[in-house]
């Protein structure tokens, strides 16, 4: 069963790629960047076409039966014993930490545990399984970073993004104040508590702009959509990018890269 003790697999020849709803609908370039980074490491990427939502919105809203119905459809997508990589701490946390409990005492319990144990957030996988080494081909730039609450608290991944960025010689990473604080998105939290969510994202945009950086990167598309969207509406001098897109753009010469 998935837990906080990480036993990293050996570097595989193949992985399953679980793209997430937000990547699929709003940030496909982040998903493609993740796939290209894996393929450049010599790993074959399998993308199950039938994948949909992981079930987290229903689960965190208390609709566990509905969450099971959605999540059950995902369990059959990964029949081979390959790692399942996810470009999101939020969806990765749902699948790795909550699937075993969601399917406890059901006919799908064993299958859910098997899937959960193979789920890895992609920056974690690139850093600690692929042992990726990045060569920076971009111009000097200063960026700030926001790591999602789910990545930090459910998967223990506060350091993977900064560790990857530290490999880029021309990137200066500046630390925001209270970096561990939530941006206010929280999935359905932003819908149920819009005033609180709005105050939180306002504070997050302020702490990011106070660093002096005009760009920020994040590991989760929900946070990216929330922070960048608020900054745009407020005419704040801050632009955002998923870290996978940022890494690919900085390290590639071919399609998908900016060089």
Q: Give the CATH number for residue 191.
A: 3.40.50
Q: How many domains does the chain contain in total? A: 2
Give the residue-averaged pLDDT of 100-116: 97
Q: Is 189's pLDDT higher than 80?
A: yes
pTM value is 0.93
Q: How confident is the model at residue 258 (pLDDT cuts 50, 70, 90)?
A: very low
Q: What is the pLDDT of residue 257?
A: 44
Q: Which of 82, 107, 128 is the last residue of a domain?
A: 128
Model confidence pLDDT, tens digit, residues 109-151: 999 999 999 999 999 999 999 999 999 999 999 999 999 999 9
Range of the domain at 167: 141-251
Q: What is the pLDDT of residue 188?
A: 83
Q: What is the pLDDT of residue 192?
A: 87
Tokens of 18: 């679980």
Give the residue-averaged pLDDT of 29-35: 98
Say if residue 146 is in the same domain as residue 88: no
Q: What is the pLDDT of residue 114?
A: 97
Q: What is the pLDDT of residue 190?
A: 82
Task: Provide the mean pLDDT of the chain.
Answer: 94
Q: How confident is the model at residue 254 (pLDDT cuts 50, 70, 90)?
A: low
Say if residue 163 is in the same domain as residue 247: yes
Say if residue 88 is in the same domain as residue 145: no
Q: How confident is the model at residue 84 (pLDDT cuts 50, 70, 90)?
A: very high
Q: Which of 104, 128, 152 is the last residue of a domain?
A: 128
Residues 6+ apart with CB under 8 A from 39: 45
Say if residue 101 is in the same domain as residue 152: no
Residue 208 lies in a domain: yes
Say if residue 91 is in the same domain as residue 147: no
Say if residue 185 is in the same domain as residue 215: yes
Q: What is the pLDDT of residue 6?
A: 77
Q: Is 36's pLDDT higher than 60?
A: yes
Say if residue 217 is in the same domain as residue 124: no
Q: Which of 93, 128, 163 is the last residue of a domain?
A: 128
Say if residue 117 is in the same domain as residue 151: no
Residue 133 lies in a domain: no
Say if residue 63 is in the same domain as residue 94: yes
Model confidence pLDDT, tens digit, residues 198-243: 999 999 999 999 999 999 999 999 999 999 999 999 999 999 999 9
Residue 259 lies in a domain: no
Strand order across the beta sheet in which 215-218 lies: 171-174, 141-146, 215-218, 239-242
User: Are 160 and 146 spatial neighbours (Cβ–Cβ below 8 Å)?
Assistant: no
User: Are 174 and 244 spatial neighbours (Cβ–Cβ below 8 Å)?
Assistant: no
* Chain-centroid distance, C-alpha 224: 10
């Amino acid at each position: 069963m998935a837990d906080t003790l990480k036993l990293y697999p050996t570097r595989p020849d193949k992985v399953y790629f679980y793209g997430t709803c937000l990547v699929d609908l709003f940030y496909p370039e982040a998903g493609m960047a993740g796939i290209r980074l894996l393929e450049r490491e010599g790993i074959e990427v399998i993308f199950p076409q039938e994948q949909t939502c992981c079930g987290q919105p229903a689960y965190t809203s208390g609709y566990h039966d509905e969450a099971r119905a959605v999540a059950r459809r995902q369990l059959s997508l990964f029949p081979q014993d390959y790692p399942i990589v996810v470009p999101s701490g939020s969806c990765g946390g749902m699948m790795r930490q909550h699937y075993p409990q969601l399917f406890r005492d059901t006919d799908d319990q064993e299958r859910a545990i098997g899937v959960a144990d193979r789920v890895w957030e992609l920056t974690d996988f690139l850093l600690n399984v692929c042992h990726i080494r990045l060569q920076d081909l971009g111009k000097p730039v200063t960026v700030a970073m926001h790591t999602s609450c789910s990545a930090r608290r459910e998967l223990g991944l506060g350091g993977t993004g900064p560790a990857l960025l530290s490999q880029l010689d021309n990137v200066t990473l500046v630390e925001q104040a209270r970096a561990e604080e939530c941006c206010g998105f929280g999935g359905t939290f932003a819908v149920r508590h819009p005033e609180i969510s709005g105050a939180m994202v306002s504070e997050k945009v302020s702490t990011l702009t106070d660093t002096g950086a005009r760009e920020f990167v994040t590991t989760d598309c929900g946070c990216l959509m929330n922070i960048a969207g608020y900054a745009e509406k407020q005419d704040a001098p801050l632009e955002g990018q998923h870290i996978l897109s940022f890494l690919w753009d900085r390290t590639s010469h071919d399609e998908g890269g900016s060089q």
